[in-house]
Chains A and B, each alone.
Chain A
Amino acid sequence: MTTAQPLIQARGLVKRFDGFTAVDAIDVAVRAGEAFGFLGPNGAGKSSTMRMIGCVSPPSGGELRILGMDPVRDGPAIRARLGVCPQLDTLDPELTVRENLITYARYFGIPRRVARLRAAELLDFVQLSERADSKVEPLSGGMKRRLTIARALVNEPEIVLLDEPTTGLDPQARHLVWERLFQLKQQGVTLVLTTHYMDEAEQLCDRLVVMDGGRIVAEGSPRVLIEQHSTREVVELRFAGESQEPFASKLDQLGERVEVLPDRVLLYVPDGDAAVAEVTALGLHPINVLVRRSGLEDVFLHLTGRTLID
């Protein structure tokens, strides 16, 4: 946690594909030891950004420095110090769990003897020791993900890049991955992750940027973002009937903001229970009422007018 130069520094970073701008002049600085998140819906430009940081995709414009080096010129030297967990697993299904780790360690010039020890330790860390000698193919999605994370750690990286680390996993598998990532963070490893799960971002990230359409629309810690862009509480109201719209228009006077979704109305208020009482006083009788705290989902909805997962 030094105030020294950021490990990753992007200024006006752009990525274009055949006239389509995936990343549109973003500024990002990731400091040593923090867990930094890119939050946004599919197509927001998160993965393109990650691939540029991973030095496998040359920027189309702007400036990018990773560990003080130029990703285009010093690609292999930077990649030697990164760990990458891609969105889709790229394991060899024909090799065993252990062989996947050892062969990968060799790409980093790690001697076979050391690679073997490290593989054993990493398998222990991701709770796959018992499957060390089974092939990768029959493993569950969660196990493959954990193996991919173990593989990303084989070179003891200074920065670990995780592109949607828990997408497609069941809740139990997700929690195990989160636990391990949290442990890594405790050990001082810098984590950079993309996600379209709010709870993931809130759980793991010290700081994050919200991306939409290739741009950064907000930046800060989850708590600060919620304070800045949302109210303390949210009342979710569901009314009987085809459309929520007529009910919503009667709620305009309540709270700071009203969002209408196809199946419910969100009422942004400082005090949820008081607001519910006011709704009832207006003579409205929703079939379902839920009072909850504001989250990043609400921040995103406020900033972009859209929900994260359609």
Chain B
Amino acid sequence: MTQLAAKRARPGPTRAPALAVLQYHLVGYRRTWRGGVLSSFLLPTLTVLGFGVGVGAFIDQGVDGVSYLEWIVGGLLASTALQVAIAESTWPVYSSLQWTKIYFAQYAAPLRVTDIMAGQLAFVLFRVLTSAAAFLLVTGVLGALRSPWAVLALPVAALLGLAVAAPTFAYAATASSDSWLALLFRFAVIPMTLFAGVFFPVESLPVGLRWLAYLTPLWHAVDLSRAATLGAAPIWSVTGHLLYLAAWAAGGWLLAHRALRRRLVV
């Protein structure tokens, strides 16, 4: 290793440590993306056909003056973002602490807790954005988008992704067994998907449940995303939605940082 000494690159704390962590996740993804790509195109196609065209055939008058397919597509996009964000911040995070213990290896290098977390969440965002983009592409080709404003659904998907991935990261980092992760899907993801305005307007729910729906981050993204794909104004104020989602992201970030710190620094 005398040759190594000659090429000494003076190792030290990286200038962009979180980026190095993101690169690591991308290297892993390079091995599996093919399987994922098929489903990220196939899934929106099937959902659009199934719900939009199939269910839509029974809804003659459409919703809010547009066809059911056009109405539902923005919400489906947001719920896709939700599912990808949560899937990518449950088992991967849990496994990196409990099974492969990759986070411990990363923390032994000159990375900070923040870098490890930021790198993982950046990868989650990458997955959310590419899935949302595939969804937009498919639905655009199928003629389900009514406005070029639809591209704004992408930043909305990213913000929603962070708003749910950050607290989910905290949850997964705290979970004592992986059965807690499945509970999250049963008691948070599925009810949110069903009742947060993706398939029918929240206004058709009884008042009490309606407020529960308003509390979910998903509804805020659904309203924004639907406004984008329809080219219409959202029900709530745009700023209000953005602030609410940002609050989830910021709160989740703090919780995740605390949870990861507790696991790594003992």
Residue in contact with A80 in the complex, picked from B12, B23, B24, CB distance below 8 Å = B12
Q: Tell which of B98-106, B124-132, B176-184, B233-241 binds the partner.
A: B98-106
Docked complex Cα distance between A79 and B4 (Å): 20
Q: Which residues of B contact A77 (CB under 8 A)?
A: 12-13, 110
Could you tell me if B14 and A58 are in contact, using CB atoms closer than 8 angstroms?
no
| Interface band, chain B | 35 or more
Q: Which of A105-124 contact B (CB under 8 A)?
A: 106-111, 114, 117-118, 121
A102 to chain B, nearest CB (A): 8
Could you tell me if B28 and A107 are in contact, using CB atoms closer than 8 angstroms?
no
B interface with A by C-beta (< 8 Å): 1-5, 7-9, 11-15, 17, 20-21, 23-24, 27-28, 31, 100-102, 104-112, 264-266
Could you tell me if A88 and B101 are in contact, using CB atoms closer than 8 angstroms?
yes
Could you tell me if B9 and A99 are in contact, using CB atoms closer than 8 angstroms?
no
Please tell me if A86 contacts chain B, counting CB pairs below 8 Å.
yes
| The 9 residue pairs across chains A and B that have the minimum distance between CB atoms | A109-B14, A90-B105, A107-B109, A155-B11, A80-B110, A106-B20, A76-B110, A108-B11, A103-B24
A203 to chain B, nearest CB (A): 21
B84 to chain A, nearest CB (A): 19
Residue in contact with A94 in the complex, picked from B31, B106, B112, B266, CB distance below 8 Å = B31
Could you tell me if B7 and A93 are in contact, using CB atoms closer than 8 angstroms?
no
Could you tell me if A90 and B27 are in contact, using CB atoms closer than 8 angstroms?
no
Say whether, besides A80-B11, A114-B9, A90 and B101 are in contact (CB < 8 Å).
yes
Q: List 10 A-B contacts (CB under 8 A).
A: A79-B110, A84-B108, A90-B100, A90-B108, A92-B100, A95-B31, A106-B20, A121-B1, A125-B1, A156-B4
Q: Mark A184-196, 1 if CB is under 8 A from B, else 0.
A: 0001000000000
Residue in contact with A56 in the complex, picked from B4, B17, B107, CB distance below 8 Å = B107
- Taking A75-B110, A108-B110 as known contacts, 12 extra A-B pairs with beta carbons closer than 8 A to each other, sorted by chain A number, are A54-B108, A76-B110, A76-B112, A93-B100, A95-B31, A103-B27, A107-B24, A114-B9, A121-B3, A121-B4, A125-B1, A156-B1
Please tell me if A91 contacts chain B, counting CB pairs below 8 Å.
yes
Docked complex Cα distance between A58 and B2 (Å): 35
Please tell me if A104 contacts chain B, counting CB pairs below 8 Å.
yes
Docked complex Cα distance between A104 and B20 (Å): 9
Could you tell me if B21 and A107 are in contact, using CB atoms closer than 8 angstroms?
yes
Docked complex Cα distance between A91 and B106 (Å): 10
Could you tell me if A86 and B104 are in contact, using CB atoms closer than 8 angstroms?
yes
Q: Which residues of A contact B8 (CB under 8 A)?
A: 156
Docked complex Cα distance between A92 and B27 (Å): 11
Q: Which residues of B contact A84 (CB under 8 A)?
A: 108
Docked complex Cα distance between A111 and B4 (Å): 14
Please tell me if A57 contacts chain B, counting CB pairs below 8 Å.
yes
Number of interface residues of A (CB under 8 A): 42
Q: Which residues of A contact B9 (CB under 8 A)?
A: 110-111, 114
Q: Which of A64-88 contact B (CB under 8 A)?
A: 75-77, 79-82, 84, 86, 88
Could you tell me if A107 and B1 are in contact, using CB atoms closer than 8 angstroms?
no
Say whether, besides A80-B11, A90-B100, A99 and B108 are in contact (CB < 8 Å).
no
Of chain B, the residue at the smallest CB distance from A189 is: B1
Could you tell me if A107 and B4 are in contact, using CB atoms closer than 8 angstroms?
no
Of chain B, the residue at the smallest CB distance from A110 is: B9
Could you tell me if A86 and B105 are in contact, using CB atoms closer than 8 angstroms?
yes
Q: Which residues of B contact A95 (CB under 8 A)?
A: 27-28, 31
Could you tell me if A107 and B14 are in contact, using CB atoms closer than 8 angstroms?
yes
Q: Which residues of B contact A102 (CB under 8 A)?
A: 27
Q: Which residues of A contact B31 (CB under 8 A)?
A: 94-95
Docked complex Cα distance between A88 and B21 (Å): 21
Docked complex Cα distance between A187 and B112 (Å): 30
Could you tell me if A106 and B24 are in contact, using CB atoms closer than 8 angstroms?
yes
A185 to chain B, nearest CB (A): 13
Say whether, besides A76-B13, A94-B31, A107-B21, A86 and B108 are in contact (CB < 8 Å).
yes
Say whether, besides A99-B27, A106-B23, A156 and B110 are in contact (CB < 8 Å).
no
Docked complex Cα distance between A172 and B65 (Å): 76
Could you tell me if B12 and A109 are in contact, using CB atoms closer than 8 angstroms?
yes
Could you tell me if B101 and A57 are in contact, using CB atoms closer than 8 angstroms?
no
Docked complex Cα distance between A121 and B11 (Å): 17
Could you tell me if A57 and B266 are in contact, using CB atoms closer than 8 angstroms?
yes
B19 to chain A, nearest CB (A): 8
A88 to chain B, nearest CB (A): 7
Docked complex Cα distance between A94 and B33 (Å): 13
Say whether, besides A57-B266, A90-B102, A156-B5, A106 and B110 are in contact (CB < 8 Å).
no
